[in-house]
Amino acid sequence: MTSFKNTKYAIIGAGIHGLSTAYHLALELKKNGKGNGADILVIDKGGIGAGASGIACGVVRNNYYQPAMRELMAQCVEVWESDPEAFSYHPVGYMQISPECMRQDVNSIFEQQRAIGYESEFIEGTSDSSEYMKSIFSDWRAQGITSVLHEKRGGYANNSKSVYGLAKKAENEGVKILTGVTVTGFKFDNQSEAVKALETDKGDINCEYLVVGAGPWIKSIWEHLELPKTVKITGKDGKQKEVPMWIYWSLQEGTLGVDPNMLKTDSGDKPPVIHVDSDAPLVGEEGEMITEKLWGIYYKPDFHFGGIQGGSAPFIVQSEPDSVKVDPYGPASPDFVVGPDFAYSWCSALSHCQKRFEGMSGLFKKEPSGGIGAFSPDSFPIFDEFRQNCYIIADSNHGYKMLGVGKLVAEKLMGEPSSLLAPFRFSRYEEKESHPTSNSPFPWS
């Protein structure tokens, strides 16, 4: 039986969203004279950063085709910049390098970044794009690139270090973090249908308000709250169809076991995070064709991971997070987090981009990375209040970089509405106001 039987605010999830909400809510309560961090209890069935936040790639960017995502991410980047030491944040910038089929989309991103004052540079044309990249990396050799969007802000953070830094900030404000406690259900008020208690494997916890930041475990919490299992969305043909509320994607990420300094720029500086989308044929180290379809990768030097870390486009799986095996070298199966061909194809793509990576697939580190992401029907987050006293942060795999969402949620709980959260309300599906999609091979773009 847990000793915490009552709390004013209960928060499920000790990852980026849960801890950010807890920390910022503690500040808001104190500022508004409505309490302090001692009124907040964070619970997690594992430990601090034991879920998706603790194995996240850590990229922080504003590179989104959707105006609502871009404006929200600009706010999140500001929060990362507010305490880079505590958040283990590296503001090295971010580059979106793209083929002709994406040039118009990326140009739109640039124009709207400029409109909101987010510093970036846009280079167009095959020759100018190649020249720009070679001015940074003399061995740059990616084919078919016709634009480069260079965000001067953004970068990456070290996953577990940033989560523990955030936990420390929350605890310094009096927030209690209780790990090893699994939510098994909820008790509701018979009249209002509001949540009045969390049922856990260590006993009930009564609360006045609930915040859910459970990452890829959102589906089980969602069902315990008796929320809709399906939703109707409008397709590009204008017709509505009913689809499952949550699907799972396997995130393809890993690390090349080389000295991270290998990716320094020609001037000896730390490079920005590199993201390349390409429609040029991707050929393997032995000359075989891997794909002639649009492909994409991202990569960065990372001393926390101990090498060059990054990933590529995910694929859909049907398994729940707890039942998914983590084995990047097993047979092809939707039960495995990382596809068996990821290591070879990702390393081949690195070589396609820069000569320094030629013939290095054998150095791919044999350790699990990536993870499972829970995606909403349109692959964008849901931030909304349900059952009168339950705020759900369901991130569709954008979670780690969205450090600022917890700040906005905390302000909203104090009565300050947020125009940045509004576009991610649950009713957008019924109102047919889903977010536009780009030509990127990544579902979250």
Q: Are strands 203-212 and 390-394 parallel, antiparallel or unpaired?
A: parallel
Instruction: Compute the CA torsion angle 36, 407, 166, 64 (nearest 10 deg).
Output: 170
Count the Cβ atoms, other than its own, within 10 Å of residue 291: 15
Of 375, 391, 411, which marks where a domain is finished? 375
Structure tokens at 78: 């500001």
Beta strands in 55-194 (DSSP E): 59-60, 89-90, 94-98, 120-124, 147-151, 155-157, 176-179, 183-188
Query: Residue 326: what pLDDT?
Result: 37
Of 375, 406, 421, which marks where a domain is finished? 375
424: left (phi over 0), alpha (psi -120 to 50) or beta: alpha
Same domain, 436 and 424: yes
- Residue closest to 420 by CA, chosen among 13, 80, 184, 72: 72
Query: Residue 235: what pLDDT?
Result: 67
- In the block, which residue shows the tokens 């404006």? 71
pLDDT along the chain (445 residues), means of 10: 84 97 98 97 95 86 82 94 97 96 92 91 98 98 97 94 97 98 96 96 97 93 96 77 87 91 96 95 91 92 90 71 42 38 91 97 78 83 96 83 96 95 92 64 56
Instruction: CATH number of the domain at 213, please.
Output: 3.50.50.60
Question: Which residues make Cβ contacts (< 8 Å) with residue 375, sequence separation at least 6?
Answer: 246, 247, 248, 249, 396, 397, 443
Strand order of the sheet with strand 89-90?
59-60, 155-157, 89-90
Same domain, 168 and 291: no
Query: Residue 252: what pLDDT?
Result: 82
Same domain, 51 and 172: yes
Query: Residue 327: what pLDDT?
Result: 34
Give the total number of structural domains in the chain. 2
- Residue 441 near residue 278 (C-beta atoms within 8 A): no
How far apart are the C-alpha atoms of 84 and 432, rounded to whole Å? 39
Q: Which amino acid is at 199?
A: E
Q: What is the pTM of this model?
A: 0.90
Query: Residue 194: what pLDDT?
Result: 97
Tally helices (H) and strands (E) across the chain.
8, 23
Same domain, 317 and 198: no
Same domain, 179 and 43: yes
Same domain, 174 and 66: yes
Same domain, 366 and 295: yes
Q: Which residue range forms the structural domain that includes residue 282?
A: 94-152+247-375
Count the Cβ atoms, other than its own, within 10 Å of residue 431: 10
Three-point CA angle 372, 375, 376, nearest 5°: 165
Same domain, 160 and 302: no
Query: Residue 185: what pLDDT?
Result: 97
- Residue 169 near residue 37 (C-beta atoms within 8 A): no
Query: Residue 259: what pLDDT?
Result: 97
Same domain, 141 and 175: no
Same domain, 74 and 190: yes
Same domain, 383 and 282: no
Of 328, 360, 375, which marks where a domain is finished? 375
Instruction: CATH number of the domain at 324, please.
Output: 3.30.9.10
Question: Which residues make Cβ contacts (< 8 Å) with residue 336, sequence separation at least 6?
Answer: 250, 324, 325, 326, 327, 328, 330
Same domain, 189 and 226: yes
